[in-house]
A and B are shown apart, each in its own frame.
Chain A
Amino acid sequence: MTTTVSRRTFLKSAAASAGAALTIGFDARGALAMTAQSGGNITPFVKIRPDGAVVAIIKHFEGGQGTATGLSALIAEELNMSLQDITFETAPADNARYANLFFGSQGTGGSTAMANSFMQYRGAAAAAREMLLDAAAEAWDAPLDTLVLSDGVISGAGHSASIGEFVEATLNMEAPSEPRLKDPSEWRVIGVDQKARLDTRAKIDGSAQFSMDVQLENQMVVAIKRSPRLGGVVAGFDDRAARDVPGFIMAIQMPNNKGVMAYAETTWAAFQARDALDIEWDFSAAESRSTAELKAELLAMVDAEPEFQASDTDLLTASAAIEGASQIVERDFYFPLLAHAPMEAMGATIEPLEDGGVVLHDGAQSPAAGHSVLSQVLELPMEKVQVNTLYAGGFFGRRSTPDADYLVELALAFAVTDRTRPVKLQWSREDDITGGYYRPAYAHKVRVGLDQDGRITGWDHRIAGQSIFKGTFFESFMVQNGIDNSTIEGAYHNPYQFPAHHIGLTDQNGPTTPNWWRSVGHSHTAYVMECMMDLCAAATGKDPVDFRLSYLTGDGADQTRMSGVIRLAAEKAGWGQPLPPGHFHGFAAHKSFGSYVAEICEISTDDTGAITIEKFTAAVDCGIAVTPDVIRAQIEGGIGYGIGHVMRAELTLDEGVVSQSNFHDYETLRIHDLSDIETYIVPSTEAPTGVGEPGTPPAGPALANAIAASGAPMVTHLPMATNGVLFS
């Protein structure tokens, strides 16, 4: 999801939280207990054990995007220690202490982890540093300015001791309200290009614990049989066949009638028993449409007058500017339904405690959601619900939905039992692919007028699709005047400066439960913007890079930073230089989540016309690069996610039933699809912005533009593989 915050608000909230973030404690349990007892608005991000070991408390879960390493780097920096010497733990559910400063509740999304933590975590650690030094100065009766803290040791004035020795003394101290942050010239961790991910070791020896790995004494595993047609409900069921499955415990209709829950002793038994359930479905309110019909409806919508005007410029003005042009470039585009399909399918576990409370074990994208759902469904006070955040096996947006789907299922599955045994919910891959939580399908239509000099005279851009936010809890701040910002982001507020630029939007009554999917609206708007820029450049005989730069003039930050990444990527990829025979370059650039990314895709074609993706070259400006190699990894992964889907991925409906079910027919990127990626990071002193999503939007159009450069038609309906492109 996208949330913007003004610079003023950012500094203010960061300062406020830094002033409160001053708690350090004793040991694994004692530290947090201590802060809880001290009361007040305390934000404990740093824990120091008696032996001096430093633990960063991570409020943003680690799902591969590198938050554990990035946030720990901020703590390590201000405590003047190397990243290799710090460890991390995930934060408990506690909105007062661990809210995402951009959301106001505890959760991860919109590539905001570093942006909202950069001042907060540094402030917390700097305050801890100052208090430890104060305590040492007092203990040794030494002048403060003679002491230094480095690598866990305070030394000076003839003394030297571990920081662990001063932890107790800090507990009664008044925290400094404005701790001094290290000057960037003093940084020894931030910006250092090193391979030092804190989660690597646990992920190469099998010890990393994901949601799926929870194995509690006496736990039951639940698998749910949901309606084969989206939106169907249970009319009745027969579990006689399931009773023959060894390990089967019971089958219970969900209280919301969305499915039947099969309880068993093991995951395999739960899957077997679930499959054996004979369910009678009520499809009276279920989806009955098919993809062909839904696609035709979307394409008709962008042909007609839009429902909403999303730009200052109206359609009449844009149309007038376009009709008088010397040539018009016009295309429609189609983007299919997509599943997130993280490697780890959804699931989580509820553990009952002796005091009547529960623990949720979850790779929690939104601990606040899990906390709240369990409290409400189980009718427990918030303090009786704990959240243990584990590693997530990828998410791409999927572990948070507006209706907290799998968390509600789990809470219901536990609620209807006698609540004495832990209950683990596990989705199968088929549940994931057919589950209905998708990136909606969209159609776009763009008409661009070009004058005799090849300059744009007007740009009419119409978008149709299912709104992600309408009808959800988030509607009040994500939808304005009927316009869901997540549908038009990337088309609207794009750094390019066009005359007579109209954006129209029409909502489709879509078939699925729409969900944010890595880069959200940018996953389709960037493709349209960047393919159209290449088509316009080609129509006027201009170089695609020069053509883009000509709409990024002036000294606005958006234009300057976008031009910067475009020039850097072009230089590094050798744009305009001769390529080997049969090789072609395609260009795309896009701003999303505050970051600017340009990508060049090099392809080759063989005699049969089959395409091989040879290389991607990327340039990114994401402000201060806190952990450069994590940024590179995210751009690499973002490119892979982007091209993987435009190449082959599509979900289709047949009378409300999803036709695909697993990785054999919802095809994923494979190692042979992509050989090489080079990523260059623009040096910057601006506040850090997102990296988890911004690599994805330009990847698809860079590939499309390379294919068009080879002489093939521009692919405007996705996926490419079913629309005329052959990949080798």
Chain B
Amino acid sequence: MAISLNLNGETHSVEADPGTPLLWVIRDELKLTGTKYGCGIAQCGACTLHLDGAAVRSCQVFVGDVEGATVTTIEAVKGPEADAVRQAWREFDVVQCGFCQSGQIMQAVDLLALNATPTDEDIDTVMGGNACRCATYTRIRAAIHRAAEILEG
């Protein structure tokens, strides 16, 4: 069936079974591949995007449930938190293979939007669901603190 999707500021009509995970509609139908498949069961966070501004695992969201909602992916995420996170990620050269980093960044942007000055414990709690097999964790933590500093001005 045709489903209307508000993705990155544009309205798309996609032909999909409403039970299809949003992740696969975005990747295979709309060809936006920055959002990654890592596990398919919400255990790794690689597919994290923003649904009405909140970080969610897109492998667990049915496309039929997001009509009318606003979906934002790594390709289009903007604003002071996103700018600060990207700047900090560059300053610390956080990435290695980079496959999980879209999800890490989308989760970190959400964290900073809700909590401008996260502690180590806050970061561990919110980022604990985002796996990185390259183990860039110490740099992720440092970069989130740095992004908070940038946001403070």
Contact = CB atoms under 8 A, between A and B. Distances in A.
A196 B93 CA distance: 7
Contact of B131 (A66, A202, A670): A670
Given A206-B75, A209-B33, A393-B97, A675 B134 contact: no
A63 B24 contact: no
22 contacts: A64-B97, A203-B98, A205-B34, A205-B74, A205-B75, A206-B32, A343-B44, A343-B97, A343-B132, A343-B133, A344-B99, A391-B99, A393-B97, A428-B40, A633-B93, A633-B139, A644-B135, A663-B44, A671-B127, A671-B128, A672-B128, A675-B138
Interface of B: 17, 20-21, 24, 27-29, 31-41, 43-44, 46, 73-75, 86, 89-102, 105, 120, 123-125, 127-128, 130-141
Contacts of A117: none
B127 to A, nearest CB: 5
Interface stretch (A47-55, A210-218, A319-327, A717-725): A210-218
A676 B93 contact: no
Contact of B130 (A210, A341, A671, A676): A671
B148 to A, nearest CB: 16
Given A200-B89, A663-B131, A671 B99 contact: no
Nearest to A209: B33
Contacts of B133: 341-343, 394, 396, 641, 668
Interface residues of A, number: 62
Contacts of B120: 675
B33 A212 contact: yes
Interface string A648-679: 00000000000000111000111111111100
Contacts, number: 181
Interface in A253-294: 266-268, 271
Given A206-B33, A268-B24, A669 B138 contact: no
DSSP class of B's interface residues: helix, strand, loop or mixed? loop
Contacts of A395: 97
Contact of B135 (A209, A391, A639): A639
A331 to B, nearest CB: 28
A208 interface: yes
A633 B28 contact: no
Nearest to A644: B135
The 5 A-B pairs of least Cβ separation, nearest first, read A206-B34, A640-B135, A393-B99, A64-B97, A203-B98
Contacts of A344: 36, 38, 97, 99
Which has the most chain A C-beta neighbours within 10 Å: B32, B33, B91, B127?
B33
Given A429-B39, A663-B41, 20 more contacts: A203-B95, A206-B32, A206-B75, A267-B28, A268-B20, A268-B24, A268-B28, A344-B38, A393-B99, A394-B96, A633-B136, A636-B138, A636-B139, A640-B135, A662-B39, A663-B38, A664-B41, A670-B131, A674-B138, A677-B138
Interface in A298-334: none
A440 to B, nearest CB: 20
A344 B97 CA distance: 9
Interface in A167-191: none
A343 B137 contact: no
Contacts of B39: 429, 662-663
A266 B34 contact: no
Interface in A202-258: 202-210, 212-213, 215, 221, 246
A663 B43 contact: yes
A319 to B, nearest CB: 41
Nearest to B138: A677
A394 B134 CA distance: 7
Contacts of B29: 266
A670 B21 CA distance: 25
A670 B20 contact: no
Quick one: which of A344, A392, A675 has the most chain B CB within 10 A? A344
Contacts of B75: 205-207
Nearest to B17: A246
A602 interface: no
A196 B90 CA distance: 8
A195 B44 contact: no
A203 B134 CA distance: 14
B41 A662 contact: yes
A343 B46 contact: yes
